[in-house]
Amino acid sequence: MANLIVDERDQKFVLFEMLEAQKLCEFPKFSDFSCDMFEMILNEAQKFAVEEIFPTLEESDKQGCKLTNGQVHVPECFHRIYKLFCEAGWNCISSPPEFGGQGLPFIMRIAAHEWFTHNFAFASYPGLGEGAAHLIHVYGTEEQKQRYLPKMTAGQWGGSMCLTEPGAGTDVGNLSTKAVRQPDGTFRIKGTKMFITGGDQDLTENIIHPVLARIEGDPAGTKGISIFIVPKFLVNGDGTLGRRNDFEIGKIEEKMGIHGSATCLINFGDNGDCYAELLGEERQGMKIMFQMMNEARIATGLQGVTSASIAYLHALQYTKERLQGSSLMEFKNPEAPRVAIIEHPDVRRMLLWMKSNVESMRALMLYATLCGDIAMNTADEAEKDKRLGIFEVLTPIIKAYCTDIGFRVTETAMQCYGGYGYCSEYPVEQFLRDEKIASIYEGTNGIQALDLIGRKLGMKKGAYFMHLLGEMNAAVASAKEIPGLKDLAEEVQKGAGALAEMGLYFASCGKAGKFLIPVGNAYPFLMMMGKIVSAWMLLWQAEVAYKKLSLLTQEKGVDITDQASLNALAKESKDIAFYDGKLKAARYFIKNVLPEIDGTIRAIRSEDLSIMEIANESFAS
């Protein structure tokens, strides 16, 4: 198939023209890499995604997972591509070289995996193994690293993340799984975990489960939680596999989408002999698990971006091919020829809305991960703190905003298809079903909003939030110097100012004892902030594109403000079409989507608390 997964031109524009990610090669850790190598990696990722992963999307959805005699069997089509995936090293692209990884920057891991995550059911298996391995790499003992990491990094062994219980989902501190200390220093686990993605599978010979539990006698709440390594098969001293550990897969959940992903209920220690090793220090389980949770939140945000990308590109192709109705200029002429529906204004509105959202979310995702790479590698402590802080503040935005907007893009893509989109004849209905879960798992989007206002805005006494605003204002100041972008820069500046004012307003509410105002409006505020940050990303891109387009039009002897000439040149030059598309996406979003924040601000400042004042009995008779 042709590539309808990721706009490769846009991805490389963001990476190398906007963010200049190739400058990471100046750090000693990445000195063996180059921009050419980065581009080669992305080209190979595209090839693998188009030729191997996308063709399994529909088949894996129809086949799903099966539980037979306590063993989960994933879709058969996953076995071949999992083997190829690991052989190519896609599962360990940014893992440490000392354990078999490739040691690439995290931004390149995210960019490569943007090609794969459209089939999240498949991508979740190697992704969880990678995340569990990273947890052991950071917090494990040297013995644990040597025992588990080489085979986890190679993809021979998988992983999962076992947090949720029937009575303790978001309220993790209420978990009841217990760990019993043994004379030899190991533990025995007993309890039930549910909604465990990749809780079992037949792709790898072993699965290493990080499991949250409370050691007998430790205090209630999150402060008393520890984390344990619980292997499916125990590992002997010589590295061979021993007995099957004492836990069982109770069932696989029947879900709306991602049918190829095994979402399991796991019963640990029904026979009292579920072996476990402590990971890190006792009663530090939540702190340790948060590393994997934050990585999973970025991965879930990426799921939103990739779902939106593939849905938009498929809808765009369909609107170019589907003939229906006459041109608006000839709508009264019954003999007028039928035109492709991309010619109709409302379809163009939907397409440009999708385009601007996809491109801003992609930039946001890659910008945040670049901040993480810089923070982890710079010797400048002030720069490290700044970049790490921006990454922290943006994490709940990436998880919540990108997954909710990602779903809305898939929904809008379906609308472009009309009735066909609602039928399984076209893949857009699966894109929509597979994406919906992203706003729910890894901490619901409402929880992300509470994390944003309750923790992230106030980190370092608000310094991290101010660092983010500083970056936005710098981009605004730069764009103001360009006549064609001055009006857009002013609109983004208003948005950044409104964001700062809302932060101060929430702080004043807290001091006045009106804490329900920020809490009750946490989600609207997060979505408002997501739109402002997205407008900043698009303005930044527009400045880069404007400068490139100016050079191209000068070569052609055309005024950059002459839209008719630009449109004519766009038919001949892909670069002119691309850069002008960047300008139009930024202008559309900033002029049509960004103003939506005004209504959100008015609603929040009204201090209406109907959501809390209404009696439970009054919601329905």
Span 534-559, pLDDT tens digits: 999 999 999 999 999 999 999 999 99
> How far is 167 from 154, CA to CA, in rounded Å?
35
The structure's pTM equals 0.96
For 477-536, the pLDDT digits (tens) are 999 999 899 999 999 999 999 999 999 999 999 999 999 999 999 999 999 999 999 999
Per-residue model confidence (pLDDT) at position 122: 98
Q: How far apart are CA 315 and CA 426, in angstroms?
A: 10
Quick one: pLDDT at residue 168? 77
Catalytic, 51? Answer no
CB neighbour burial string for 478-508, b if at least 16 within 10 angstroms, e if fewer:
ebbeeebbeebbebbbbbbebbbebbebbee
Read off the pLDDT of each residue in 178-206 and give the average, rounded to a whole number. 97
**Percentage of the residues of the chain whose pLDDT score is greater than 70:** 100
pLDDT tens-digit profile of 123-150?
A: 999 999 999 999 999 999 999 999 999 9
Residue 1 has pLDDT above 60, yes or no: no
Residue 608: pLDDT over 80: yes
Average pLDDT in the 461-480 region? Answer: 97
- Report in angstroms the alpha-carbon separations of 181 from 66, 147, 216, 276: 35, 21, 8, 10
Grade residue 328 by pLDDT with cuts at 50, 70 and 90.
confident
Check residue 294 and give its pLDDT: 87
Range in 77-81, 268-272, 335-339 the model is least confident about: 335-339
Widest pairwise Cα distance in the chain: 88
Whether the CB-CB separation of 179 and 276 falls below 8 Å is answered with yes
Residues 6+ apart with CB under 8 A from 281: none
pLDDT confidence of residue 55: 97
Which of 442, 471, 491, 543 is catalytic? The answer is: 442
Please check the confidence at residue 609 and state whether its pLDDT lies above 70.
yes
Can you give the pLDDT at residue 338? 87
Asked if the model's pLDDT at residue 292 lies above 90, the reply is no
Amino acid at 44: E
Is the pLDDT at 353 greater than 90, yes or no? yes
Give me the half-sphere count of Cα atoms (radius 13 Å) on the Cβ side of residue 539: 32
- Using pLDDT thresholds of 50, 70 and 90, give the confidence band for residue 170: confident
